[in-house]
Chains A and B, each alone.
Chain A
Amino acid sequence: MIKSAVRGALLCTVSLLLASCSSPKGQVLRLATTTSTYDSGLLNDILPAFEAEYGVRVDVVAVGTGQALALGRRGDADVILVHAASKEQAFVEEGYGLARFPVMFNDFILVGPPEDPAKIGGVGQAAEALARIAAAAAPFASRGDDSGTYARERALWQAAGLQPDSEAGWYLSLGQGMAATLQFADEVGAYTLTDRGTFMAQRAQLEHLELMVGGGSISENADRALMNPYSVIPVNPAGNGGVQADLAQKFIDWLLSLDTQKRIAVFGIDQFGQPLFFPDSERWRSTRP
């Protein structure tokens, strides 16, 4: 009996060894991105085309924005795809990234309970809506973490001239991901800032949350401050031999190419009736009037 147990465990070890030997080094690109980007499903949709064309496997590590940049600083990722402009700028200025390349954008929206105690439904500008929420002391659920969404939320409060914290009993800082925050807001009847994609994906489960500010689609969103641009950043290989700089550059060229940008433009239409992202690379912009 013990012999067969040991045999079984040895089988596990051997099969693990074999599996790890099957992929030769140099054929794997490691992409660090945010959880909301990954959860949208876009990468699973477009990456196979890159993998097939270049014979490269892309390992996507989806973590919080802060952690993705930390992976870049340590050279544990070859390329980063995030949406946090000021953090990206600092990352490049400090020399960890070679440059920022715009890839695409989507938008944020404010959602809240159908009763709308703060009367923000249909307001055009988010800062004004937030001011009304504060004035009404209506419950507001915040990500309260290192995410791009939270960074934008704080910037919008600042634009409204406010700095709410947990001392004010209506401001609820959760320290959780977007889906969890939406679930919470749904249960409690709170307002929250969310990216449109996550809200649409979760819509069926969120029976007591409605879109308040941001319009029915990105093209209808009147507030520039709610735009959410994504950048791709090649990690600086200097001083870190493991970083695959050439592979990263190939990936970036592919990501910004017209073909890929077109795929990004249609992603989500099947499932939601509208695209989840708008392409925004230099090459794409140059083809627009």
Chain B
Amino acid sequence: MVYTQRHPALLIMGLVMLGIGVSTTLGWQDELIKYLAIEKLTSEMTSLPYVFGGIAVVVGLWHLLGRHVEGNLDYYLSTIAGATFILLIAMLIRWYLDPWVAVLSKALGPVMGDKYLHDVLGLNYVVLGIIAGILVVNVFQVPRWAENGIRLSRLGLKTGVVLLGVLYSAAELRQLGGLSIIMIGFFVLGSVGLTLWMGARRNIPNSMGGVLAAGMGVCGVSATVASAPVVQAKSLEIAYTIGTILLWGVACMFLFPVVGHFFHMGPVQFGAWAGTGILNSAQVAGAALAFQPNGIETLKVAEIFNITRVLILPIIVLWLAVWYVKREEDAPGVNVGRVVIEKFPVFVLGFLLMFALSSTGIFAPAQHYQGAYFDNNVKPEKLLKPEAVATLQAEVGKVQRDDQRAALGRLIDNRKLMSPDDDDVLRGVVNAKLLSKDANGVLKEAHKAVRHTAKKIAAFRDWITWLFAFGLVGLGMQITIASIRQAGGEPLVIGGVVGTLKAVLSLIVVLLFVHETI
């Protein structure tokens, strides 16, 4: 069988990519880039289109004019057309559609704390990519010349999952509070176990149960994507899980603050509850800020719990890998140990290897979280200027709380932030809008001077973003309307039951055992 189609599509897509690169380089897109606020993406807009556009043009010429004979060359080079098709859609989403949605959403103003509508609904490149893929397959159908290459999307996802390990470190896990580890450990493991049990009782496929368990237990989209290849989840099952999590999160964001005020919860209690019960990171932050718009204490606690949950991901991935292999092969006479060795997904070990490498500190200081870390060894030119210090000194009287006054005093004395705690406390001052715009600007400047992002981790994040965008657009292309009808609403029911149970039980635990100090 000859896979390569004699078709000009790949050549045309290559030229379109080169067109994007050239027009960005020559500044023809400057106004659009400014409108979409994507200045930080211009470096990739002037590099990726040349690399992949160039490859597409060369291979596209071969597709159109070459002699195609059955064999490896034909088989593997034919995949370039589908892969380029997915990549071009991913580029259009990341550079144009996703920022445009953000611009429109921001024009409406914040809807929950300082969060905008697209944050609340989780409308980012992940969701937009899946929707784009679904539209392509259901409205236009996947072109024949792209069919072979679309099968590379899962490879992209798996590679992204392996790299995901570099974003976390064991040092960060050790720094977290004991209560957050116990509470999150209990509820994450409990949610995963309950979802798996309910899935088995209600006879949903193991792959659906596995991916839903990770999504409902850990942290939504990342956990879903990371566990999907482990349990061989189908495209529809991934989309279902992400949809369930986001819908659940939206409802929680509005309900949690109301319930929190009803029970007169303090910042620590509410932060612990929101960080445990809500699944999506942006939605956790939104609920915390909605509960306490004039300070950062709730947000800080919620973030600690949220980070703890994310860091349990490697354990959950490992658990699901072993669970899935056992479930699929658990027949009489089967040697489970041998089956685990034969069928265990090797890329999970890669994920754990990256987690271990990241924990050694070779990519970033070992205490980093997703590449961000505190370091106040700043250059003299980065210290606050005398006029900035004077701006702060003039407004010290506006700050009433002792801890905030003390942190502000240390900043004024040293012209830089002295500790991560001071940084957090003064972020609360900025959020509460206690000071003038100029003074808040100075505080933000001081924050930027000591908060760093490791360049290597930033580069890994870009790779992961692209690999996930590529994989999810491709997976979206495998979701047909007929398959959605066939799947029914069972996952939504299970997700709703597990989510509600987790929210209610964690509320009871928080009210009984969590006090205003951790």
Query: Do these two chains interact?
Result: no
Q: Which residues of B line the A interface, CB within 8 A?
A: none
Q: Which residues of A line the B interface, CB within 8 A?
A: none
